[in-house]
Amino acid sequence: MIDAMAYFVFRNFPDNTPIPDDCYGCDGTPDWAALLEWICPELSRDEAERLAAIGEASGRGPNLAGLKRLVEEHARP
């Protein structure tokens, strides 16, 4: 397994940081790809979309810790 932490830098947000409005779709649901790009700006749009599909399929709602874990476990450097 590749250590994604060596390749990606996460923004350092407190746990209570509100998610920006532009990280939600028109229907009010979270835009996983936008959230991933927000928390880890080094992700390409394609990689964020790929990770978003994994995150959405997990059935869990996005949160800061979960988004970081998703990148750590599945991102391709």
Reported pTM: 0.78
- What backbone torsions phi and psi does residue 18 show, to the nearest 5 degrees? -70, 145
For the segment 40-74, what is each residue's pLDDT rounded down to a tens digit?
Answer: 998 999 999 999 999 999 888 888 888 888 988 88
For the segment 17-48, what is each residue's pLDDT rounded down to a tens digit?
Answer: 778 888 888 898 889 999 999 999 989 999 99
- Distance, in Å, from the CA atom of 35 to the CA atom of 62, rounded to the nearest integer, reads 8
Domain ranges in the chain are 20-74
- Can you tell me which residue has the tokens 């835009």? 31
